[in-house]
Amino acid sequence: MFAQPDLLVRDILFVIDRQTDAHWLQPLHANEDHFVLTCILDGAADFLFGLEECHVQAGDILLLKQSTLYSVRSDPDTPWRYITIGFRMECLNDEAAEVLQQLPEIFPCPDNAVLTDDFHRLNQLWNTPHPGSILKCRSILNDLVYQLLQEYGRDKQTTVFDARMEAIVQMLRADVAHTWTLEELSEQAGLSPSHFRALFKQHTGTSCIQFQLHQRVAKARELLLSHSCSVNEAAEAVGFTDVYYFARMFRKIIGQNPFDLV
């Protein structure tokens, strides 16, 4: 069993709901000993992280880590309104420290009403305290951090799977004459056959069998148009052992008889 990143929210330092104006500016600044989590409720702003400029807008979530150097100004046409939370957080294992280091500063979440509602709830609890409200605030903040980790994990997993599928696609294109089974391809990708089948169709828009068939026929068409071989030779070169089956598939996919191209 692999280790999971383990984080602990220790102290909430502030929760602020702020409406800015067209001239609002936060000069260059760094949070030396705490994190800042911000939800943009309305409008837009321009951030500067080191030398990188980023435009953020309503729905985006910002995670400013310790020692992150940044400045920000309101968009003069649509000044931003935001809820921001300052807090201290501890990494309880090396995996957590590594994940935190990799997390982006900006999470584009234009339709994530759940996260926005959590910011509003936390802001209300923090600014109208009652017995147990601090405990509840920590609970909501923990859930917010958890959801951002989930969002990051989904994005990272999607990127990894896209890379695996593209590697398979390039392999199939490089050797169209080889017949790959679903089991062989899924093993190459390190996935179960059912998971591979679904991801491959999502990536290419077709099944792996149909993809191989179309690649073979497309390559055979190239060979025939080059006038370098006969129909029999083109069929054999792309892995067909039955020239009549090849001709039938060629007509179905290309829309013409392969003998017409010779």
Q: What is the CATH number of the domain that holds 205?
A: 1.10.10.60
21 & 113 share domain: yes
Whether residue 228 is contained in a domain is answered as yes
For the segment 78-82, the average pLDDT, to the nearest whole number, is 96
Whether residue 166 is contained in a domain is answered as no
Whether residue 1 is contained in a domain is answered as no
188 & 128 share domain: no
The answer to whether residues 58 and 44 touch, using CB atoms and an 8 Å cutoff, is yes
Q: How confident is the model at residue 69 (pLDDT cuts 50, 70, 90)?
A: confident
107 & 75 share domain: yes
Number of structural domains the chain divides into: 2
148 & 239 share domain: no
Gap between the Cα atoms of 11 and 246, Å rounded: 69
Whether residue 2 is contained in a domain is answered as no
What integer pLDDT is reported at residue 100 of this predicted model? 82
Q: How confident is the model at residue 40 (pLDDT cuts 50, 70, 90)?
A: very high
What integer pLDDT is reported at residue 3 of this predicted model? 54
Give percent of the chain with pLDDT exceeding 90.
Answer: 48
Tell me the two tokens of residue 116.
């926005």
Whether residue 80 is contained in a domain is answered as yes
Give percent of the chain with pLDDT exceeding 70.
Answer: 94
Whether residue 88 is contained in a domain is answered as yes
Q: Which residues pair with 91 in a beta bridge?
A: 7
Taking alpha carbons only, the member of 45, 53, 2, 10 closest to residue 141 is 10
Asked if pLDDT for residue 234 goes beyond 90, the answer is: yes
Whether residue 164 is contained in a domain is answered as no
208 & 78 share domain: no
26 & 63 share domain: yes
Asked if pLDDT for residue 156 goes beyond 70, the answer is: no
150 & 199 share domain: no
Phi-psi region of 142 (alpha: psi -120 to 50; beta: other; left: phi over 0): alpha
Q: How confident is the model at residue 97 (pLDDT cuts 50, 70, 90)?
A: confident
Gap between the Cα atoms of 41 and 238, Å rounded: 57
What residues have CB less than 8 Å from 187, skipping those under 6 apart?
Answer: none
Tell me the two tokens of residue 99.
């994940």
Final residue in a domain of this structure, among 111, 129, 157: 157
Whether residue 92 is contained in a domain is answered as yes
Domain that holds residue 239: 175-262
133 & 91 share domain: yes
The answer to whether residues 216 and 175 touch, using CB atoms and an 8 Å cutoff, is no
Final residue in a domain of this structure, among 124, 157, 190: 157
222 & 254 share domain: yes
CATH code of residue 134: 2.60.120.280
The answer to whether residues 223 and 234 touch, using CB atoms and an 8 Å cutoff, is yes
The answer to whether residues 80 and 20 touch, using CB atoms and an 8 Å cutoff, is yes
180 & 141 share domain: no
Asked if pLDDT for residue 5 goes beyond 80, the answer is: no
| Mean pLDDT across the chain | 87
140 & 179 share domain: no
Asked if pLDDT for residue 157 goes beyond 70, the answer is: no
> pLDDT of 164-193, one tens digit each?
888 899 999 999 999 899 899 988 888 888
Does 3 or 124 have the greater pLDDT score? 124
144 & 243 share domain: no
What integer pLDDT is reported at residue 1 of this predicted model? 37
What residues have CB less than 8 Å from 213, skipping those under 6 apart?
Answer: 249, 253
Final residue in a domain of this structure, among 131, 157, 183: 157
